[in-house]
């Protein structure tokens, strides 16, 4: 990097380091609590950490990103519901937590975590380098974060794919849509970060629709045309 991490970058690093510690405690220590409840608590902890530090340090950027990706995360229930209830290619097993349709309740806030990281990182690279580099970083980071998550989340007895072409535990059809989700979230935030909440809701809904359309298209392309 051209310079050392600035204050907001150091804080976001330490917040995520602290969150990793919470994750290890919640997941590895046998509290006798169902995994769905554990994940729900972790989702709450993440958002609380972002909001507390954001308000305390007066990081407007953090709060703006969190609000936008939180709205997207709520809307993302709909694609997951469609994939699990209609196409039956995504499964949310009983995990001790309430469900929204066929989707585990923690999913309403889980997307906040990767999308906050992706959007914040994109902003940092755009500020330090250029917008072209920032979009490249967002694309690569989306591939890594979502790819690793989709490949390993089954170990927590959370969601898993079925009846689709897989590489290990990773469904092929979901790779490109999730990269596009990261890119569209980052682009959407660029459009609405200084606008009122109505525009944030509108663009967040469009991001979800784009994701849903890509998921259906690439599912059809990979499952019925290519293979």
- Is 83 among the domain residues? yes
Question: Which residues contact residue 106 at a Cβ distance below 8 angstroms, ignoring those fewer than 6 apart?
Answer: 36, 39, 40, 42, 43, 97
Cα 65 from Cα 167, distance rounded (Å) = 32
- Is 63 among the domain residues? no
- Is 11 among the domain residues? no
- Is 154 among the domain residues? yes
In order along its 227 residues, the chain shows pLDDT tens digits of 446 789 999 999 999 999 999 999 999 888 889 999 999 999 999 999 999 999 999 999 999 999 999 999 999 999 999 999 999 999 999 999 999 999 999 999 999 999 999 999 999 999 999 999 999 999 999 999 999 999 999 999 899 999 999 999 999 999 999 999 999 999 999 999 989 999 999 999 999 999 999 999 999 999 999 88
- Is 198 among the domain residues? yes
pLDDT at residue number 3: 60
- Is 86 among the domain residues? yes
- Is 57 among the domain residues? no
pLDDT at residue number 30: 82
- Cβ-based neighbour number of residue 94 at 10 Å: 10
Q: How many domains does the chain have?
A: 1
- Is 50 among the domain residues? no
166-167 vs 160-161, strand pairing mode: unpaired
- Helix or strand or coil: residue 111? coil
pTM of the model: 0.96
149 lies in which domain range? Answer: 68-226
């Amino acid at each position: 990097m051209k310079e050392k991490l600035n204050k907001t970058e150091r804080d976001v690093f330490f917040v995520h380091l602290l969150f990793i510690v919470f994750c290890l405690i919640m997941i590895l220590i046998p509290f006798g609590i169902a995994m769905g409840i554990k994940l729900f608590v972790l989702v709450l902890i993440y958002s609380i950490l972002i909001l507390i530090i954001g308000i305390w340090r007066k990081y407007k950027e953090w709060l703006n990103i969190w609000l936008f990706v939180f709205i997207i995360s709520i809307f993302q229930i709909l694609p997951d519901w469609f994939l699990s209830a209609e196409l039956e290619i995504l499964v949310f097993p009983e995990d001790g937590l309430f469900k929204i349709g066929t989707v585990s309740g923690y999913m309403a806030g889980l997307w906040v975590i990767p999308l906050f990281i992706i959007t914040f990182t994109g902003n940092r690279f755009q500020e330090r380098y250029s917008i072209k580099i920032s979009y490249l970083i967002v694309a690569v980071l989306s591939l890594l974060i979502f790819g690793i998550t989709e490949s390993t989340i089954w170990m927590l007895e959370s969601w898993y794919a079925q009846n689709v072409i897989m590489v290990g535990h990773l469904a092929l059809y979901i790779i490109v849509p999730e990269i596009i989700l990261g890119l569209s979230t980052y682009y959407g935030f660029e459009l609405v970060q200084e606008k009122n909440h109505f525009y944030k809701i509108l663009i967040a809904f469009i991001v979800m629709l784009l994701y849903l359309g890509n998921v259906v298209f690439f599912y059809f392309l990979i499952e019925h045309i290519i293979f």
